[in-house]
């Protein structure tokens, strides 16, 4: 899928902060989302078996259940998931599983309020974007309803602090990232 140059530049700024904040050995499970498409090409991975992405059928909702499995499989390793606003809604209820088991998973939720890659592909092919702008729930309230910590950093410095705190937490933390934070 295509990611526009403007979106790619914003995403690269955010991914650089994510990479610097996460330990090298972090197991990262990604979803079908624009930020993961860029990360598949550009995100440095230093250790074997630490980057998991659903290839083939493009499974939305893969990241969080995979991250929970990764944390059970490698409890000593930090685990982060990279999920989009739309894909997260396929398995959002699994936050309850992570809370119940006190799994310190860093949930990096990319909220661009759209199906961004599909939007960019429509524009690329001269198609008027249709049904790609979403009305999202309040992810902060949903996470907290499950007993999960939740943050919405306003800038990249705050994103670093949120990731560092999430790595030390006693359970999962949802960190909602937006395109605006890259330029704040």
Taking only the tens place, the pLDDT of each residue in 139-149 is 999 999 999 99
CA dist., res. 168 & res. 81, Å (int): 16
pTM comes to 0.93
CB-based contacts of 53, cutoff 8 Å, min separation 6: 29, 30, 36, 40
Taking only the tens place, the pLDDT of each residue in 119-133 is 888 888 899 988 888
**Ramachandran angles phi, psi of 110, nearest 5°:** -85, 110
pLDDT score at 118 = 81
């Amino acid at each position: 899928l295509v990611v526009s140059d403007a979106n790619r530049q914003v995403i690269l700024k955010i991914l650089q902060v994510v990479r610097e904040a996460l330990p090298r050995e972090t197991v990262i499970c990604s979803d079908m989302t624009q930020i993961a498409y860029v990360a598949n090409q550009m995100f440095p991975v230093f250790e074997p078996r630490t980057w998991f992405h659903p290839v083939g059928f493009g499974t939305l909702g893969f990241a969080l259940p995979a991250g929970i499995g990764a944390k059970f499989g490698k409890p000593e390793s930090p685990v982060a998931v990279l999920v989009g606003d739309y894909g997260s809604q396929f398995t959002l209820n699994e936050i309850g599983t992570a809370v119940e088991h006190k799994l310190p998973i860093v949930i990096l939720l990319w909220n661009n309020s759209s199906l961004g890659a599909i939007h960019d592909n429509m524009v690329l092919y001269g198609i008027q974007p249709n049904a790609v702008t979403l009305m999202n729930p309040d992810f902060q309230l949903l996470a907290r309803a499950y007993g999960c910590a939740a943050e919405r950093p306003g800038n990249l410095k705050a994103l670093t602090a949120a990731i560092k705190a999430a790595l030390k937490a006693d359970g999962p933390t949802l960190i909602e990232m937006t395109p605006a934070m890259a330029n704040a």
